[in-house]
Chain A
Amino acid sequence: MKRTPLQSLVLYAAVVLAVVLILFPVYWLLVTALSTTAELTVLPPNFWPEVPQVQTFSRVWAERPIPTWLLNSTLAALGSVSLSMVISVLAGYALSRFSVRGSQSMGIFILTAKMLPATLLVIPLFAIFRQIGLIGSLWSLVIAHSTLIIPFTTWMLKGYFDTIPRELEQAAMVDGCSPLGAMFRVVLPISTPGLAATSLYAFVLSWADYAYARTFLVNAPESWTANLGITTMRGEYTTEWNEVAAAAVFVAIPIMLIYIFLERYLVGGLTAGAEK
């Protein structure tokens, strides 16, 4: 249906207004990072710094342990994503291909896992990790983040394997492949996009954690993740907002990039276990 010029104008105006309002906080973060301390402590607020202070970024990167924090976040994410993916690929494939008893209850289990407050699970995990000496170590996050990730990735991968025709494996088995061989040589190679999207989604889940990092690592600054590190930059009385904002940009960038790649796969991940 054709729109009149007036209707088009209204539509564009509404879209622009919505996008501006929604993205304003992100813009505000950038302005804060680029302003001088003097510009940040006046009213009315400055909506654009007179001279953008790009050097704040390099200063924060050099003077604060940002690279260490980013590295720790990445290590925790790589560890928990690898562990979860190995487990979930096998489980997702089993749920997709074999009429395993209890596969229906898997959906209910995943939904329950989504309901499980991290603030509840963190209590017994803390007691266990204290006993086995994992407090202060990134390994505690690898395990704790896997509790967040496995329910999602298993369900996402099951959904992805469901879209791959069974005939492919049957053909491979006729040609002499074992069922496991068919899975590793035929199904997994053509599932690369699904595996990549699922891993990225899991990476975002791990990267976003704050509760577990704060509980297990607060007394071990050398293991701080990016999210935990950022919160320590806000002082009780004074906060160097431009430095905090610059650090926040460094932390947000990896996730933003992943999001742009991941956008079209998001729905599957977000709804995992809640279909029907």
Chain B
Amino acid sequence: MARRKLLDLARPSRQHLLGYILLAPAVLLVGLIVVYPLLMSIDLSLQNVKLPRPGQHAPYTVANYSKLFSSQEFWMACWVTLKLVVTVTIGSLIVGVGSALLVNNRFRGRTLARLAIALPWAVPEIIAVVIFARIFDTSFGLLGWLFIKLGLTDRMIAWVSTPGPAFWAVTMTMIWKGFPFVSIMTLAGLQSIPSDYYAAARVDGANAIQRFRWITLPLLMPVLGVTLVLVVLWVFRDFSIIKTLTEGGPLKATQTLSIMTYDQAFGFFNFGYASAVGVVTLVICIVASLLMLGRGSKAMY
């Protein structure tokens, strides 16, 4: 019986069926552990619940959403998220593209240099926080000492317990962790540019800056567009760096939407309200990346 079935599947007309059978476990599992929980959180966001109990369902209400949009904390979190997305993305792009262009030159030891500049990608976020927490330490931190040496301040800065500096501490840590991704992507993009283009430009007398402006940059644009979207999404969704470096504080100065979602759920056990924050975050992520991808694909032509 089983044998006949397999033989049947070999017929071209049955190929579709085999495709669906192979895909079925993935669809089932993803449905069970991603789609169902996602629907459940939308459902939770429409109920006034603290900690959901099995079998109980509170009446539907939009109270969470109206509370959300009228809360100052939410708009503050939006503002912090936006600031962080912009600073970390710009920083990662500058360092990432710069370092990629540098090691794209031909020189001895290039392979090793490439491995080195992308190494922070392999450092787990929690470990990066351990390193930077010590660099930003209030009493004996390296950065505070450096700032005094350079004459920027006259005493140690309480980096993670002062609102402004805490934001920059998070930004710096995230750039160090985030730029290698940009480097890796840029290097891949640079390698796909045919060297003939540069040779032709040289024959026409273009200098290095012109070659960068008129060949490298336009051909790198599609890769950079995708990279930009992925970096933005990463900052939007990050939890571990902010949570372990500043806990979203002080005075919520580093509380992004992700951190707010988590703290509402597991700090205050407002599961309904937290789900509403999370759903809004997801919608913002989807809209933002569709806008960016739309622009990106147009920029290709």
Contacts and interface: CB of A to CB of B under 8 A. Distances in A.
A263 interface: yes
Given A18-B102, A87-B26, A267 B185 contact: yes
Nearest to A7: B105
Task: With a 10 A CB-CB cut-off, give which of B29, B122, B237, B289 has the most chain A CB atoms.
Answer: B122
Interface string A16-52: 0011001101101100100000001111110000000
B226 A271 contact: yes
A90 B28 CA distance: 13
A120 B134 contact: no
A180 B18 contact: yes
Query: Chain A's interface: helix, strand, loop or mixed, by majority?
Result: helix
Q: Contact residue range for chain B? A: 35 or more
A198 interface: no
Contacts of A11: 102, 105, 107
B6 interface: yes
Contacts of B120: 22, 25-26
Query: Chain B's interface: helix, strand, loop or mixed, by majority?
Result: helix
Contacts of A91: 22-23, 25-27
Interface in A92-136: 93-95, 97-100, 111-128, 131
B265 interface: yes
B116 A120 contact: no
Contacts of A274: 226, 229-230
Contacts of B37: 121, 124-125, 128
Contacts of A32: 131, 134
Given A91-B22, A146-B29, A99 B271 contact: no
Contacts of B271: 123, 127
B119 A22 contact: yes
B278 A256 contact: no
B201 interface: no
Contacts of B22: 90-91, 93-94, 98
A25 B236 CA distance: 24
Interface string B113-130: 111111111111111101
A59 B229 CA distance: 44
B116 A19 contact: yes
Contact of A120 (B54, B102, B107, B279): B279
Interface in B130-144: 130-135, 139-140, 142
B236 A117 contact: yes
A42 B140 contact: yes
Contacts of A151: 30
B285 A248 contact: no
Interface stretch (B9-17, B64-72, B212-220): B9-17
Interface in A68-86: 83, 86
A156 interface: no
A164 interface: no
A38 to B, nearest CB: 11
Contact of B145 (A43, A95, A115, A180): A43
Nearest to B43: A124
A8 B286 CA distance: 46
Interface of B: 6-7, 9-10, 15-16, 18-20, 22-23, 25-27, 29-30, 33-34, 36-38, 40-41, 44, 51-52, 54, 98-99, 102-103, 105, 107, 109, 113-128, 130-135, 139-140, 142, 145, 149, 176, 181, 184-185, 188, 202, 226, 229-230, 233, 236-237, 239-240, 243-244, 257-259, 261-262, 265-266, 271, 274-275, 278-279, 281-282, 285-286, 289, 297
Interface of A: 1, 8, 11-12, 14-15, 18-19, 22-23, 25-26, 28-29, 32, 40-45, 83, 86-88, 90-91, 93-95, 97-100, 111-128, 131, 143-144, 146-147, 150-151, 154, 173, 178-180, 204, 207-208, 210-211, 214-215, 227, 230-231, 234, 241, 244-245, 248, 251-252, 255-256, 258-260, 263, 266-267, 270-271, 274-276
12 contacts: A15-B107, A19-B116, A28-B134, A41-B139, A41-B140, A114-B230, A119-B281, A122-B262, A123-B261, A123-B265, A127-B51, A256-B123
Given A25-B131, A214-B243, A248-B131, 9 more contacts: A28-B134, A90-B22, A120-B282, A123-B271, A123-B278, A147-B34, A252-B122, A271-B185, A274-B229
